[in-house]
Every structure is written in structure tokens, then in C-alpha cells.
Homo-oligomer: A and B are copies of this chain.
Amino acid sequence: MIAEIITIGDEILIGQIVDTNSAWIGQQLNLNGIRVKQISSVSDDKEHIVKALKEAEGRADVILITGGLGPTKDDITKKTLADYFNVGLIEHLETVEMVRDFFAKRGKELTELNRKQAEVLENCRVILNHNGTAPGMWIEQNNKIYVSMPGVPFEMKAMVDDYVIPQLKKQFDLPFIYHKTVLTNGIGESFLAERIEKWEDSLVANEIKLAYLPSPGMVKLRLTTYGKNEADLKAKVEKAIEQLTPIISEYIYGYEEYGKEPDQLEKLVADLLLSKKKTLSLAESCTGGYISHLITSIAGSSAFYQGGVVPYHNQFKHNLLGVSNDVFEKHGAVSEECVKAMALGVKEKFHSDYSIAVSGIAGPTGGSDDKPVGTVWIAVANDSGVVAERFQFGTDRNRNIRMTALASLNKLRKMIIEE
């Protein structure tokens, strides 16, 4: 089965926003054995949208459309689709109630403009929007399927996950595609490639495709295989991962599989702490609260997270965490001695079972010959003591923050597991 994606909106064409929606949709379709033939981004212009629809129809069985469903005057997708299919718009009562409720919860009344959001094409099945006001629409005509969704990513994603993919699976006999992704932290792409070269060569005979997906602080290795029998495909990939594991075991922290939440370092740490009924506190200098943000992005983190401090100057490392002024004078704030004292100090302050402390030079300035930009000390503590390690990251401030956070969480994860 072939699909096409049409994203509507001038903001994409003038480069004001990067179209991440199509990449995400492409990924989801691909994972489910649906090939995406073309992605087209077109302007908020009726004639142009119609032309794109016609062209897509000539190539694809399913046409997914995002954007242009807002309540404002520049959003014309709905009107254009109605004309295209030569149907009228009707008010969808369930959606009216959802929109009314949406605004009521925010202490606001339903306006005429908002009520218009509940209008849908006569010939559609409505895809309810549980995260916003514009409903999605599923239209079947001339043996083709058209799906219109809002451009707001989290509204669109929920519709694809909860409705579009399950519906397509129900209506079509899709081939099996099996992917599993190995997640690594602590080794760069080219070093990884060298280390697993022989293993990688062996994949060809098994018809497994390998992709390297690098991002700051991690490299993902995605294994893909196609076929008729799901169990066979899965067994083949699992065997390949079994052969890979001893070669790079110290770098693997988790996996990503379709239909499962991908492993995330913060989530792995959270699950370990929850299962052991242990608590955590954080003392962050160079990461400035980013590790705390990752941890508290997890719903339910208050069950194990006690809290943290961001002592952005030495005096507060001293006042709040009891780091002795001697340490700053003899070793500086970016040192083994400092992060160890911070980790012990915050652990005591928050009565936690574990703690992480980081101190480093995030950049772009502030480096020296022996501590260049990207130098970071990380300490993790438990009831038996504290250990620290020096890392050397790059020159980009925000990449350094991200890489420090992931390395810290991985260090804590290993500490908890190895106990």
C-alpha cells in the first residue's frame, strides 16, 4: 500500500517552521508496512491544495493531510476539501460538546468562531480530537482514503496513533515490517561503526538492514527486516542483537520497539528507583536544571524524586550543599572533589537514597588549557559512598548540557544495577 502526505501552510514554505509532522507520520506508516511515496508541502491556497490532492491521488491509496484546520481566516483546508468532494459541511454534535467542554474547563465560553471548528464534511467519519478543538476527518471516495488532521503535532500524533494506524491495519492486509533499535550511550558513531563492522557485514545474509541514528549523547542502531511471518522476523532480529550485545555491552542501555514505550534513560532510572522504593536528589551546576527537568517530565516522578538545587555560583554550593571553600581554592568548582561534595551534600539535604551532582564548563566561553570547554565532572552517590568521573564533551553549550544529563543518568543507572 502506498501513502502520501500533504502538509498545508505558508509557514512551512517560507521556512518559518520545519515540517516535523511528515517525518513523524512517515516513520509511523513505515513501521506498519505502508510505503510513503511523496511528501508535499503546499501553500494555504485553494487551487494549489486541489492540485496537490489530484496529483497524490494518481500515486497513492491513502492521502494524509495536515494543517489548515484552525478557526482563523487563513485556514482553508476544510472549505477546500468540501468543494473538492462536492459535499457540504455539517455540525458534529459530539465535537460541539467537546469544544464547549474544552473552553469551559479553561473558564471560557464557546464563541461563534470556535463553534465553527465543530463543522465537518458530510461524507466523513469524524476523528475526535481529545487534545484540541479541530476534529480530524476520514473520507473514503473513489477507492482512496483521505485523512485530514490538524497541524498541531500532539493533536495530530494522537489521531494517527489512536485512529489512523489501527484503522488502516483493519482495512488492509499489510506486510510485516519488524524493527528493533538498540540504544547506546558513551560511544560516537564512527567508533561504534568500526567496532561492529564484522557483525554489520553479517546482517546482509540475514536480510537485516541497519541504520545509524546519531543524536547528542546517543547513537541508535535500528535493525529492520520485512517479510510474511512476524515470528520469524522477530527471531532473526533478536538473534542478531544477541550477537551484537557482547561486542558493545557497556554502551547499550536500552531498546526501542514498535508498540512499546522506547527506553529513555530518565525513565529507566525512574523505574529502577520505583521498583526498589528508593529516592533521588540532584545538584546541578553546568546542566542548570536540565536533569531535574528530564526527571520531572515523567508523570509520577514525585514518588521518588525529592528535589534538587541549581547552585550556579560557588557561594551557593557552599551555603546550600556545604562544599568547603577549600575545595574551590585548591581544585576549583569543576573538579572531582567539588562534585563529590555536592553529591553528598544534596543527598543529605534531601534525605535521598541516591544523588547526582554535575559541574562543568558548558561553554561557549569559560574554558582553560587544562579544563577546556566541554570538561564535565559527574558524581553519583548512594549509601555506601560516592564515585566521580571526568568527561570531555564538545564546544556547543546545549549539546554539552544534553550529553552531561544523559551520561549522568546512565552512570546512576549502572550504579543502581550493579549494587
Contacts and interface: CB of A to CB of B under 8 A. Distances in A.
Nearest to A405: B293
A17 B13 contact: no
Contacts of A38: 13, 40-43, 48, 52
How many residues of A sit at the interface, in one of the four size bands? 35 or more
A345 interface: no
A105 to B, nearest CB: 7
Q: For chain A, what secondary structure do more than half of its interface residues adopt (helix, strand, loop), or is it mixed?
A: mixed
Contact of A111 (B16, B190, B289, B313): B190
Contact of A113 (B37, B73, B194): B194
Contacts of A397: 297, 299
Interface in A25-69: 25-28, 30, 35-44, 48, 52, 55
Interface of A: 9-20, 22-28, 30, 35-44, 48, 52, 55, 70-75, 105-108, 111, 113-114, 117, 131, 133, 152, 154, 179, 181, 188-191, 193-194, 200, 209-214, 222, 224, 282, 284, 287-293, 295-297, 299-302, 305-313, 316, 319-320, 349-350, 362-365, 372, 374, 392, 394, 396-399, 401
Given A131-B396, A310-B310, 17 more contacts: A15-B27, A16-B213, A19-B39, A71-B190, A71-B193, A72-B189, A105-B372, A105-B392, A288-B293, A289-B296, A292-B292, A297-B397, A299-B364, A306-B312, A306-B313, A308-B312, A309-B310
6 contacts: A13-B35, A19-B22, A71-B190, A105-B374, A292-B293, A308-B310
